[in-house]
Chains A and B, each alone.
Chain A
Amino acid sequence: MDEPYTLTLKVNGEEHQLRPNTRTTVLDALREQIGLTGTKKGCDHGQCGACTVHLDGERVLSCLLLVEGIAGHEVATIESIAAPNGDLHPMQQAFIDHDAFQCGYCTPGQIMSAIACVREGHARTRMEIQEYMSGNLCRCAAYPNIIAAIEQARRHHRHL
């Protein structure tokens, strides 16, 4: 069950050679093997949304995704969202402007979800944002500020 074979995982435009076992999730591969800890483990059961990443541009829960299953696909994490020169993405800036977090632990997942939510066309109304952001728990409970941040950032949706 712990056979040493390698697998290539493309994350944030870079290819990583991994030695996963059959149960290694994308979340654990990111955090433990690649060293990208921006993606958070909140429950490991697909219940909290803290581990949200983009797979080929769509939001997925990386704790429910096995590395085995995603050869040929591309993963994007929170570490790839800001511009290479360090400029924040409009959604990141909106989260700061509207104080859309306190402890910050759910924040990478919220931002990945929020960007996808706008891209999917699910951020047209406040109610729609609430519905499509309800898979991302925030225990500090910045929910109203998260909505305000998405309402600000959706104006930039062409760049999202």
Chain B
Amino acid sequence: MSVIGSPVSRVDGPAKVNGEAHYAGEFAPKDLLYAATADSTCPAGTIVTLDTRDAARAPGVLLVLTHLNADRLPYQEPAERVAVDPVAGAQLRVLDGPAILFSGQPIALVVARTQAQAEYGASLVPAPYDADPPAKLRFDPALAQPTSEAAAKKKRGPETRKGDAEGAFARAPVTLDERYRLSREQHHPMEPHATVAEWTGDRLTLWSKTQWVGNERDEIARRFGLPPANVRVINPYVGGAFGSSLRTWPHVTLAAMAARRARRPVRLELTRRQLFTFVGHRGQSEQHVRLGADPNGRLLATICEATGQTSTYEEFAEPLLGPAGATYACDDRLTRYKLVPMNVNTPCPMRGPGWATGLVAQEMAMDELAERLGMDPIELRLRNYAERDPMKDLPWSSKALRECYAQGAERFGWSKRPLKPRARRDGRDLVGLGMATAIYDSGRYPTSASVALLPDGTALVRCATADMGPGTYTSMTQVAADALGLPLARVRFELGDSTFPPAKEHGGSTTMASVGPAIQEACGAVKAKLAGVADGAPITDFAAVLRRAGLDRIEAEASAKPDDAMKTHSINGFGAVFAEVRVDVDLCTIRATRIVGAYDAGRIVNPKLAHSQCIGGMVQGIGMALFEDVEWDEHLGRVSNGTIAEYIVPVNADIHDLDAIFVDTREPLLNPLGVKGVAELGLCGVAPAIANAVWHATGKRVRNLPITPDRLLTA
């Protein structure tokens, strides 16, 4: 059996279980200083005065930076916005002026000899504000504006039409017209974001938490007006991110500003509370869905009007309407996308960006439509199975969604589900079953990699990608070992350094499809070079070949990029998610007791790690469905549950029986490995499957996620 497809244990496992894996904030250059910020307590307005005298006199404090004394940075414009940035607007320029755009915006930076001294110093910076103009604090869809032309260019609204959806809806014999809300969510990776900055002359080294070392280098180079070659970004281990480390956030700039002024290395590590305001979030949303169908369940009209939130200074638009466009066959369809600009920090991609959110409304609506039709929810979906991508009008490169429905239903025991809700009771619990379709847009980026065959008989493979948890270290070691024909133990893969051959973002489930082929190319190139000097010796003997030829290494670098398959075909991962919930009949507490996901993610390079990713997505989906809720105080303009205890995330005791299966497929076009990506897909469809199961258990529809006991009680 090829090592591709094997359930190999993580190659970085020993380092992680021994506490030897070093995350960004743990790099400690000599003479390191510590920084902390004072943040605005007002959501909009202007700083009137800023008194830093007490902070400057505090023990251990060496430097206090504010907009009054900080360097003005050039912030050069990029030639082109990268995909991880908002579609329009101007990024927050830290300590650049007295304007306040959101509560939690950093207004002063204190550098001290210890972390505690920096934090104490930062607590001594009072700042009276002139609260004018009045802050925009209400998420009210009536205040929403259509997305801009820049968003439209990326197919993110403001409107798409096919046929006459409104007319078809008016004529449809069976209709549904409902609004679905999803609360704001935070990524909350276990590792808080941190940057250590060290200058040597005009060269800057950053040990910084990021999903994209190359972009962090380029972005910081532009902000400081440096050649990119003068900046090096290092980040071998990322302690979770889920999208929150795609952009280069202002704290990275602050760390570099402080280190330059202090003339010593500086670390800035965000607090858990600051993760609510420094690094983005999945903004809250409302989706107004109208579906029309004939009595046989054939969709006649699909209308989805979505409202998201963005900040006042940037436009963050995401592919929220992807599912409404691509999931089901329907000739008459309409989508609209609007945003409410608010005095908040700008949202950013969070696992399954757009798609997971769009699926919440669409898959809950399909469940309601099935109820009205008296039809099994899978049957309704099969009757509207899209044989081509209905919005783009392109063929799918591969699609095994039917197999996902069938295999998932079989594993879950769906056929025993009563059609009617509130039909099963077990002691105090009402028991319900629900399901949902999962879909996510697969992608691939141009990527380079290098391979060096070394005299100790090992191959060193490098690429400037990242591993925030999915197992890049392990899966790429498998790809390289397979391509070189070497055992795993003789291959070492390194990542997370901007001096390595370039990769794009470690996000959007693109890493395997992008980095894998580059490694295959580089391995092919190094084998060709070896053949030139090997004189017929097998690859496994390359150490002897090097010795004989008097070489200290044979090295090759190669690139791989997508062809036009993404233009001629629609390429998506698919899945079917099934959930069982138990609801306490009196207390309305909900437990997700069983979830099965069946996925068409193309070929699976490492089934052990892919399974972990999918069950992790299920747990985050349980959070989305039942717990995660940034409580927004619309009078003060602040998050009122800004800790990891009050922003409730699933804990071990919340999680029960989870299972993920992969249908046997191989994607023919996206990349030579045959993969479509796993990570985002694992979250997609989980929350609506749970919400649908809650209805099936109780007979009540709660269209406002998370479904907390109080919401269910009053539904």
State which of B319-327, B391-399, B649-657 sits at the interface with chain A. Answer: B649-657
**A139-B240, A140-B469 as given contacts; A105 in contact with B10, CB under 8 Å:** no
Shortest beta-carbon distance from B512 to chain A in Å: 15
* Interface contact A102-B613, CB-CB below 8 Å: yes
* Interface contact A95-B645, CB-CB below 8 Å: no
Chain A CB within 8 A of B145 CB: no
Chain B CB within 8 A of A61 CB: no
- B382 — which chain A residues lie within 8 A by C-beta? none
**A77-B19, A88-B14 as given contacts; A103 in contact with B190, CB under 8 Å:** yes
- B151 — which chain A residues lie within 8 A by C-beta? none
- B191 — which chain A residues lie within 8 A by C-beta? 40, 42, 103, 105
**A32-B114, A134-B653 as given contacts; A144 in contact with B615, CB under 8 Å:** yes
* Interface contact B14-A96, CB-CB below 8 Å: yes
- A37 — which chain B residues lie within 8 A by C-beta? 19, 22-23, 26
Q: Give a binary string over A11-50; 1 marks a CB under 8 Å from any B CB, 0 the rest.
A: 0000000000101100010011001111111111101101
Chain A CB within 8 A of B80 CB: no
When chains A and B are docked, how far (Å) is the Cα of A108 from the Cα of B21?
10
Which of A35, A36, A95, A102: most chain B Cβ within 10 A? A102
Chain B CB within 8 A of A130 CB: yes
* Interface contact A96-B652, CB-CB below 8 Å: no
* Interface contact B18-A96, CB-CB below 8 Å: no
When chains A and B are docked, how far (Å) is the Cα of A56 from the Cα of B275?
34
* Interface contact A139-B189, CB-CB below 8 Å: yes
* Interface contact A141-B615, CB-CB below 8 Å: yes
- A129 — which chain B residues lie within 8 A by C-beta? 652
Chain A CB within 8 A of B374 CB: no
Residue from A48, A105, A127, A141 in contact with B620 in the complex, judged by beta carbons closer than 8 Å = A141
Shortest beta-carbon distance from B205 to chain A in Å: 18
Residue from B60, B237, B272, B619 in contact with A2 in the complex, judged by beta carbons closer than 8 Å = B60
* Interface contact B116-A102, CB-CB below 8 Å: no
Q: Give a binary string over A81-105; 1 marks a CB under 8 Å from any B CB, 0 the rest.
A: 1100000100011011101011111
**A2-B117, A21-B116, A39-B19 as given contacts; A139 in contact with B13, CB under 8 Å:** no
When chains A and B are docked, how far (Å) is the Cα of A47 from the Cα of B114?
23
Shortest beta-carbon distance from A152 to chain B in Å: 13
* Interface contact B651-A99, CB-CB below 8 Å: no
* Interface contact A103-B271, CB-CB below 8 Å: no
Shortest beta-carbon distance from B263 to chain A in Å: 21
**A96-B13, A142-B612 as given contacts; A23 in contact with B116, CB under 8 Å:** yes
**A21-B116, A103-B469, A105-B239 as given contacts; A45 in contact with B645, CB under 8 Å:** yes
Chain B CB within 8 A of A145 CB: yes
Shortest beta-carbon distance from A115 to chain B in Å: 12
Residue from A32, A78, A82 in contact with B115 in the complex, judged by beta carbons closer than 8 Å = A32
* Cβ-closest chain A residue relative to B468: A103
Chain A CB within 8 A of B609 CB: yes
Shortest beta-carbon distance from B573 to chain A in Å: 19
* Interface contact A131-B653, CB-CB below 8 Å: yes
Chain A CB within 8 A of B59 CB: yes
* Cβ-closest chain A residue relative to B239: A105
- A55 — which chain B residues lie within 8 A by C-beta? none
- A47 — which chain B residues lie within 8 A by C-beta? 272, 643-645
When chains A and B are docked, how far (Å) is the Cα of A133 from the Cα of B653?
8
Which of B18, B238, B242: most chain A Cβ within 10 A? B18
Chain A CB within 8 A of B28 CB: yes
Chain B CB within 8 A of A137 CB: yes
When chains A and B are docked, how far (Å) is the Cα of A2 from the Cα of B60?
8
* Interface contact A78-B18, CB-CB below 8 Å: yes
* Interface contact A50-B608, CB-CB below 8 Å: no
* Interface contact A137-B651, CB-CB below 8 Å: yes
**A40-B190, A104-B237 as given contacts; A141 in contact with B616, CB under 8 Å:** yes
Chain B CB within 8 A of A71 CB: no
- A95 — which chain B residues lie within 8 A by C-beta? 13, 17
When chains A and B are docked, how far (Å) is the Cα of A110 from the Cα of B654?
16
- A23 — which chain B residues lie within 8 A by C-beta? 116
* Interface contact A28-B19, CB-CB below 8 Å: no
* Interface contact A142-B271, CB-CB below 8 Å: no
- B540 — which chain A residues lie within 8 A by C-beta? none
When chains A and B are docked, how far (Å) is the Cα of A97 from the Cα of B305?
46
**A38-B20, A39-B19, A79-B19 as given contacts; A48 in contact with B189, CB under 8 Å:** no
Chain A CB within 8 A of B417 CB: no
Chain B CB within 8 A of A118 CB: no
**A43-B272, A141-B619 as given contacts; A102 in contact with B652, CB under 8 Å:** no
When chains A and B are docked, how far (Å) is the Cα of A145 from the Cα of B619?
12
Q: Give a binary string over B103-134; 1 marks a CB under 8 Å from any A CB, 0 the rest.
A: 00000000000111100000000000000000
User: Which range contains the number of B residues in contact with the other chain?
Assistant: 35 or more
* Interface contact B22-A144, CB-CB below 8 Å: no
Chain A CB within 8 A of B471 CB: yes
Shortest beta-carbon distance from B492 to chain A in Å: 18
Shortest beta-carbon distance from B265 to chain A in Å: 14
Which of B59, B116, B608, B652: most chain A Cβ within 10 A? B652
- B116 — which chain A residues lie within 8 A by C-beta? 21, 23-24, 28
Which of A50, A77, A139: most chain B Cβ within 10 A? A139
* Cβ-closest chain B residue relative to A81: B18
When chains A and B are docked, how far (Å) is the Cα of A23 from the Cα of B114?
11
Chain B CB within 8 A of A62 CB: no
* Interface contact A96-B10, CB-CB below 8 Å: yes
- B226 — which chain A residues lie within 8 A by C-beta? none
Shortest beta-carbon distance from B575 to chain A in Å: 17
Chain A CB within 8 A of B16 CB: yes
* Interface contact A43-B643, CB-CB below 8 Å: yes
- A78 — which chain B residues lie within 8 A by C-beta? 17-19
Residue from B617, B618, B643, B653 in contact with A130 in the complex, judged by beta carbons closer than 8 Å = B653
* Interface contact B643-A99, CB-CB below 8 Å: no
Chain A CB within 8 A of B12 CB: yes
Chain B CB within 8 A of A146 CB: yes
* Interface contact A147-B652, CB-CB below 8 Å: yes
Chain B CB within 8 A of A138 CB: yes
Chain A CB within 8 A of B188 CB: yes
Chain B CB within 8 A of A111 CB: yes
When chains A and B are docked, how far (Å) is the Cα of A134 from the Cα of B18?
22
When chains A and B are docked, how far (Å) is the Cα of A47 from the Cα of B116?
19
Shortest beta-carbon distance from A156 to chain B in Å: 15
* Interface contact B19-A99, CB-CB below 8 Å: no
Shortest beta-carbon distance from B467 to chain A in Å: 8
Q: Which residues of B from 455 to 503 have beta carbons under 8 Å from A?
A: 468-471
Chain A CB within 8 A of B9 CB: yes
**A105-B190, A137-B649 as given contacts; A1 in contact with B619, CB under 8 Å:** no
Chain A CB within 8 A of B685 CB: no
When chains A and B are docked, how far (Å) is the Cα of A39 from the Cα of B618?
28
* Interface contact A136-B18, CB-CB below 8 Å: no
- B22 — which chain A residues lie within 8 A by C-beta? 37
* Interface contact B9-A99, CB-CB below 8 Å: yes
Residue from A35, A43, A142 in contact with B644 in the complex, judged by beta carbons closer than 8 Å = A43
- A77 — which chain B residues lie within 8 A by C-beta? 19
* Interface contact B190-A139, CB-CB below 8 Å: yes
When chains A and B are docked, how far (Å) is the Cα of A103 from the Cα of B612?
11
When chains A and B are docked, how far (Å) is the Cα of A155 from the Cα of B189?
32
Chain B CB within 8 A of A60 CB: no
* Interface contact A42-B190, CB-CB below 8 Å: yes
Chain A CB within 8 A of B70 CB: no
- A107 — which chain B residues lie within 8 A by C-beta? 16-17
- A-B CB contact pairs (8 Å), 23 listed: A42-B192, A42-B272, A44-B271, A48-B644, A95-B13, A99-B612, A101-B13, A102-B469, A102-B616, A103-B239, A104-B21, A105-B23, A111-B17, A130-B653, A131-B653, A137-B644, A137-B651, A139-B187, A139-B190, A141-B615, A142-B612, A143-B619, A143-B652
Interface residues of A (CB under 8 A from B): 1-2, 21, 23-24, 28, 31-32, 35-45, 47-48, 50, 77-79, 81-82, 88, 92-93, 95-97, 99, 101-108, 111, 127, 129-131, 133-147
